[in-house]
Amino acid sequence: MRSLFAPLAALALVALAPAPAIAHHQHPRYHEPAPIGALVGVDVIDRDTGQVAPVYAHGGEYWLAGTPGHRYAVRLRNLGGERVLAVLSVDGVNAVSGQTASAQQTGYVLGPWQQTEVAGWRKSLHDIAQFEFTDLPDSYAARTGRPANVGVIGVAVFRERVRDWYGHEDAISKQEAPAASAPRAAAEASRDAAGGAVGSRRAQPQLGAIAPPASPKLGTGHGAREWSQARQVAFERDSATPFAVVALRYDSESNLLAMGVIPPPWRPRHPHSQPQQPEPFPVGFVPDPRW
């Protein structure tokens, strides 16, 4: 019988109830975007509007716009038929343990084809503190002395070594996996410094120049408590390093417009918006004079 605590083994928390249903209203300019990521799709839902946030590709990175004061959830979708572990960080903080984030920490476990909506910082097996967009100084990371990585949602995805579980619940790992070897850890650190590989650990983002923001930077606050029951299960990673790392950067819409991440809206020119320029050969016949 294989030991439950073999190398790379981890305990995990399982949500006992599905995430609350959210009405998905289609934005007039966008269809619901396909989730970003390999093996696990990742997208963000504004819980106050029910809309899935459009994702913008810019400079080799992925961005989305948040609305200050709005609650949000990170939706994780298992795109395959095997159980996986998704280690979720928000603003450089592990969303389950509250530790400064590392891919080797605790994370959500998804059954085959399962999806879940993570709506807050886990406080216990019974409740969470809601994710809500707020100004950087009021973010949870800044208020706990860790403002350096505010503005990014990250997901590190692991495959399971032992694939003999066929339940219908998602989970959160509790124990940390062994550290990666020095060369692999150095490569991983280099990748993280560049913004994280998206979709595959072999993908390297190309960073582009970004103008200063137009208004205060956005972060994620520690919102109101909400019931969210969970229990622990076991999960054994097949590797000390993640199969894929997804990075979704975010800020306010005004800041993303100022940085050139969101293209300015197209507006048809009104015929009287600019003075008419004289034409040397206007087409037409001589009109009657005005009296």
Average pLDDT over residues 91-104: 95
Least confident of 10-24, 98-112, 145-159, 272-286: 10-24
Cut 0.85: pTM above it: no
pLDDT on residue 58: 92
Q: Radius of gyration (Cα) for the chain, nearest Å?
A: 23
pLDDT on residue 37: 75
Distance CA 77, CA 113 (A): 7
Closest CA to 168 of 85, 236, 87, 109: 109
Read off the pLDDT band of 234 (50, 70, 90). Answer: confident
Look at residue 7 and give its three-state secondary structure: coil
Strands in 115-118's sheet, in edge-to-edge order, are: 40-46, 72-78, 115-118
Choice between 234 and 173, residue whose per-residue pLDDT is larger: 234
pLDDT in tens, 240-289: 999 999 999 999 999 999 999 998 876 555 555 555 556 676 666 666 67
Distance CA 79, CA 21 (A): 20
Q: What is the mean pLDDT of the chain?
A: 74
pLDDT on residue 215: 74
In this predicted structure, the answer to whether residue 113 has a pLDDT above a threshold of 70 is yes
pLDDT on residue 134: 96
Read off the pLDDT band of 53 (50, 70, 90). Answer: very high
pLDDT in tens, 85-94: 999 999 999 9
pLDDT on residue 177: 46
In this predicted structure, the answer to whether residue 44 has a pLDDT above a threshold of 60 is yes
Read off the pLDDT band of 157 (50, 70, 90). Answer: very high
Q: According to DSSP H, which parts of 138-181 are helical?
A: 140-143
Please give the C-alpha separations between residue 17 and each of 22, 94, 246, in angstroms, as whole numbers. 15, 22, 26
